[in-house]
Structures are given as C-alpha cells and as structure tokens.
Amino acid sequence: MKLVEENTPTLPAAPELPVDPEEADMQSIEEKNTKHTILIVEDNIEMLQVLRNLFTPIYSVLTARNGKEGLATALEQHPDIILSDVMMPEMSGKELCAAIKNSYELSHIPVVLLSALESNEDKLDGLAQRADDYIGKPFNAKELVIRCNNLVYNRKQNKTETDKTEKEETPQILATNSMDQKFLDQVDAIIALNLSKEEFGINQLAKEMGIGRSSFYAKFKSLSGISPNEHLVNCRLRQAAHLLKDRPDMQIAEISYQVGFNSPRYFTKCFKSMYLISPTEYRKR
C-alpha cells in the first residue's frame, strides 16, 4: 500500500457566512473548528492509524472501531464526511452506510467505503447502499485524499452558489436524496404554517421537526449553506414581497405583522437589506 505522499492536496476552506445573533452559540462552536471533520471507521488498528495520519493534516479526525460505534459518533458529532471500511464486526461498512443514508439527521453526509473486496459485484452492492464512492484496497493515498476532498468541496461549492440565489428566490438547496428532500419540504411546510407568528423561531421549528436543535442546525446548514434562522427571515421577506404586490389594500405595517415581524421599522430595515430598496419603493415598481 502506498502511504501519504508529500504535498498532500488540501481542502479549500468553507465560505464564511454571517453570524446570526440567535444562533451565535452554534457559530462559535463552528469557529473553534476551522478544519472540516472526517469520521474514519476501521476495525484494524494499524490501518486506522495510517488513515488518521493521512487525514490529520487536512481534517479534524474522528475515529470509530466498528459500524455501530461509527453510527453513534456520527449522530453525536455530525462530521462532514465518513470514510469506512466494509468488513467490520457488529455492523459492517455497508450496513453503516445504509443506516446513515436512511437517517433523517445524517442522510446528507457523504460516505466513502474502503474495502479489499474489489469485484464489480461488491462495488455495485456498496453503491446500492447509496455510498458516494467505493475505493479498493490497496489504495493510492493521494487519490483517496483527493476523492474525499472532492466530495466535501463540491458540496461546499454548491452551497455557495445556493447562498447567492437565496435572496432572490427559493434556492435549489442540496437535496441529493429523497430523505433530504423530505426534510427540506417539511421545514418549508412548517414555516409556511407559522409565518405570521412572531414568536416562532428555530427552537420551535426544530421541535416541530422532531430533532434536537443542534442536530437540526447542523443538517440544515449543511444542506443549504445558511443558518435556519436566515432561511426563516428570508421566507418572511419573500412572503412580504408577494403581499406588497398582490395586496395593495394592506398597509406596510400590517404586512410586516402578517409575516411575523414585531416592528415595522425592523421589517423595513431587513427588507431593504435583502431587496436593496424600501418596501414602499418595491410596491411602486
């Protein structure tokens, strides 16, 4: 097996996003960890150490000795990518992959399977569990790092493009599977039902989704590139823009209350920040 080469390719940093006051605690946790996080699941101690040494210069590395332990770690830590051996006790890599991809909280996380089983049948079986990549042993260290980097970086790049469209229209958020799409559809449905409630926020949204606040925050931001609260505010403002055009009988203050703002002045400030003109000017266009 070829070990790590010099000048191992580094992963470009994730784009910086504005800090949301309501979620400052979540942002501060992220800022403490400037590297992306990889979870390596491998039952062979020597191979685990090789992989840890390979990825430590680029990632914050979490490790687990079998699929069951890996699943528990993933639920607790929400890594950016999971690299797993296939043949392991208690829960195999393929079983772990299936559990990840069927999890409401984890289905967005890329999974790479690493195995000595290299037949086409084995690869197809791994990919059938919705693995994002399948790499045989022995592996080329540089290729392994690049392929993991690409999975993480491509998702981050797509999120950056999504963030650019968020202000103007509902973004094509990164739902790469039906589980993620169901999650996002449910988020928007709950927001739509509660848009006029000024007290409705992320704690209530996470509760309605049946997910812990930190898990909800991590999954939504991983899929969208923005915080849940930013998305909520943008939904309120987009609905306000529709009302400004469709309901000329409504006063601007009335519209601001209708979409969940408790202050017309603050609503105007947010609206102008998003659309670059005041609500009055927007209505006249």
pLDDT: is 271 or 9 the higher one? 271
**25 has pLDDT over 60:** no
CA distance linking residue 43 with residue 14, whole number of Å: 30
pLDDT at 55 over 90: yes
Residue 95's alpha-carbon distances to 111, 136, 271, 278, in angstroms, are 12, 18, 47, 54
**CATH match for 21-161 among 3.40.50.2300, 3.20.20.80, 3.30.10.20, 3.40.50.620:** 3.40.50.2300
> What pLDDT shows up at residue 130?
82
Question: Position 273: which residue type?
Answer: S
H/E stretch holding 170: none
Q: How far is the CA of 6 from the CAs of 2, 20, 83, in angstroms?
A: 12, 39, 21
Residue 224: which residues within 8 A CB-CB, separation 6 or more?
Answer: 159, 162, 163, 166, 171, 173, 174, 184, 231
- Percent share of the chain, pLDDT over 70: 78
User: 111 with 101: CB under 8 angstroms?
Assistant: yes
Q: Please say if the pLDDT value at position 173 is more than 70.
A: no
Q: What is the pLDDT of residue 128?
A: 75
What percent of the chain has a predicted confidence (pLDDT) above 90? 54
**For the domain bounded by 167-284, which CATH number is listed?**
1.10.10.60
Identify the band that residue 21 occupies on the pLDDT scale cut at 50, 70 and 90: very low
What pLDDT band is residue 16 in, cutting at 50, 70 and 90? very low
Give the pLDDT confidence of 181-213 residue by residue, as tens digits.
Answer: 888 889 999 999 999 998 999 999 999 998 888
pLDDT(269) > 50: yes
pTM of the predicted structure, to 2 decimals: 0.61
Angle, helices 178-194 vs 202-209, to 10°: value is 130
Q: What is the pLDDT of residues 133-168, one digit of tens each?
A: 999 888 999 999 999 999 988 776 655 554 444 444
Task: List the domain boundaries for the chain.
Answer: 21-161, 167-284
Distance CA 211, CA 196 (A): 23
Q: 3-state DSSP call for residue 261? A: coil
- Average pLDDT across the chain, whole number: 82
**Quick one: angle between helices 213-224 and 202-209, nearest 10?**
90
The 3-state secondary structure of 80-140 reads: CEEEEECCCCCCCHHHHHHHHHCCCCCCCCCEEEEECCCCHHHHHHHHHCCCCEEEECCCE
Is residue 40 helix, strand or coil?
strand
Torsions phi, psi of 239, nearest 5? -65, -40
Give 73-115 pLDDT, tens digit per residue.
999 999 999 999 999 989 999 999 999 998 888 888 999 999 8
